[in-house]
Structure 1
Amino acid sequence: MNIVSWNVNGLRAITGKNFYDFINEFNPDILCLQETKIQAGQIDLNLSEYEQYFCYADKKGYSGTAILSKVKPLNVSYGIGIDEHDHEGRVITAEYENFYLVCAYIPNSQTELKRLDYRRVFNSVIEEYLVNLDKTKPVLFCGDLNVAHKEIDIKNPKTNLRNAGFTIEERDDFTRLLSRGFTDSFRALYPDEVKYSWWSYKFKAREKNTGWRIDYFVVSNRFMSEIKDAYILNEVMGSDHCPVGITI
């Protein structure tokens, strides 16, 4: 089974590019999307083989997540059950027989770190959410987590130390999550590989490969033995992010 996660930076926009070509060629069993930027009724995906689940932000044209799945989940829930965190369409959880799949778009701390305090609260809340799920069955936590964890995960670590996504606070929060029974699947399988999943649209960043690895599959430690591969599909265009995935 291949499970893929992709921040599409606008689902309507990418369907006019290479979205369907990617699905036809790569044929993921489950596709998790972030930053869909749509409301209910704004798009009708021509993908009849997939069960389709969408979590919408209250604010139009903002955030949003989705799970497209060839395997019908046992249950699907939206948000994390705390009202103050459930208005931006950031989390969908699909329960399958052997695991929970949590698709997330973690808040960006923004310029001048004006949303860092909220981001850290969200980090803490979703950490507890994942830990509680993990008590029942293993968790696959994927999406745009908006943090480059280690210096190997970012092209220019020294000049980004106080920029959103590479602050000590955000990286420490990610370390703490991993310490509670989770593994960064790609880094576990490829400890020394330099590969990125996001590039700024500015300064020809993708052409120069001046990127960040901020898209992940974080899995329960006890499920790592089921992970046959983890990958980053750098060659797939269409968004400022590329897809990432795992093979179970």
Structure 2
Amino acid sequence: MSKRGKKKDEETGDVDQENGAAPDAKKAKKGKEAEAPIMYEDPPDKMTTKDGHAANWKITSWNVDGLRAWVKKKGLDETKCAEKALPNEITSMPEYPHKYWSGSEEKEGYSGVAMLCRTEPLKVTYGIGKEEHDKEGRVITAEFPNFFLVTSYVPNAGKGLVRLDYRKTWDVDFQAYLSELDQRKPVVLCGDLNVAHQEIDLKNPKGNKKNAGFTPEEREGFSKLLEAGFVDSFRELYPEQAYAYTFWTYMMNSRSKNVGWRLDYFVLSRTLLPNLCDSKIRGAAMGSDHCPITLHLAI
């Protein structure tokens, strides 16, 4: 139920990040065949909690690349496309009768999120209450009886880390917003959070420590969010799973080589752990430089 399309602008980060490749990795020795890539295979979905309660909520988040080009793909839920330019195929989708859109106030085709729901929320709000962030259309919050669903496209630190200071401010303000919600009822956060938290979350950590998405500052910001009472649902269930990525640059055949990053997350209030059934990475789904992720909850 979340996210956005990626575009070659200041938001995408620099080339090294997008390649996901350390410089030394590009120097293959002559006469030797490249090693076969290790691909992640999404295991069968777990549809019950540890206590045996059956899942009754399914939430999918997908950072789509070019909504209008992929309107017939199922599960599209976030876009840089302005609401006034949305294709009829999206606005009329009967399987999702409740649709909510948010985009940049200043730049058409910049950032933006959307949420498509089969169940009508009790209330929907936009932004986090701070104009500095809200003008970029990065957050939608839907309140349901037992939890808040927050979809977000977190700002990229940018090429040359030109927006790293802004990203640090965002992390502090966004954590405060989520913690405030969590005091009222549990939170499910989904979206492209634009950070690979641990070295296991990208193919080439050594070559990317100074690049957007893997700087110490961004990783620390995510760590502080977890310390504030939230959990990374995928790592909670699969703490040692390597090669599980959600983003691959279009360049250098990165996806076929599985040279990627895990940038897309379901982050949950810790109180929702007993309700967690599974957190999935749908790496086989094509149509974007990101793949969808899916959460199953019994709540």
**TM-score (structure 2 length as normaliser):** 0.77
- Over the aligned positions, Cα root-mean-square deviation in angstroms equals 1.1
| Identity within the alignment, % | 51
Q: Could you say which residue in structure 2 is the equivalent of 1:57?
A: 104
SS for the counterpart of 2:252 is coil
Cα distance in 1, alignment partners of residues 83 and 234 from structure 2: 33
Greater strand percent: which structure? 1
Q: CA deviation at 1:100?
A: 0.2
Cα distance in 1, alignment partners of residues 95 and 254 from structure 2: 36
Unaligned runs of 5+ in 1: 24-30
Cα distance in 2, alignment partners of residues 55 and 91 from structure 1: 7
Q: Could you say which residue in structure 1 is the equivalent of 2:37?
A: none
Q: How many residue pairs align between the two structures?
A: 235
Q: Could you say which residue in structure 2 is the equivalent of 1:218?
A: 267
Q: CA deviation at 1:135?
A: 0.1
| Matching of residues 122-161 of structure 1 within 5 Å | 122-161=170-209
| Residue from 62, 66, 84 that aligns with 1:41 | 84
- Structure 2 residue 58 is the aligned partner of structure 1 residue 2: yes
- Structure 2 residue 166 is the aligned partner of structure 1 residue 166: no
Which amino acid in structure 1 is aligned with residue 80 of structure 2?
Answer: K
SS for the counterpart of 1:198 is coil
Which amino acid in structure 1 is aligned with residue 67 of structure 2?
Answer: L
Cα distance in 2, alignment partners of residues 220 and 150 from structure 1: 20
Unaligned runs of 5+ in 2: 1-56
Q: CA deviation at 1:49?
A: 2.5
Cα distance in 1, alignment partners of residues 279 and 273 from structure 2: 11
| Residue from 211, 220, 245 that aligns with 1:196 | 245
After the TM superposition, list the runs of 4 or more consecutive aligned residues in structure 1 that deviate by more than 3 angstroms.
none
SS for the counterpart of 1:92 is strand
| Residue from 124, 134, 137 that aligns with 1:89 | 137
| Residue from 67, 70, 87 that aligns with 2:118 | 70
Which structure is richer in relative contact order (CA contacts within 8 A, separation 6 or more)? 2
SS for the counterpart of 2:251 is coil
- Structure 2 residue 144 is the aligned partner of structure 1 residue 99: no
Q: CA deviation at 1:224?
A: 1.2
Q: CA deviation at 1:84?
A: 1.2
User: For the pair shown, which has the larger CA radius of gyration, 1 or 2?
Assistant: 2
Cα distance in 2, alignment partners of residues 9 and 131 from structure 1: 30
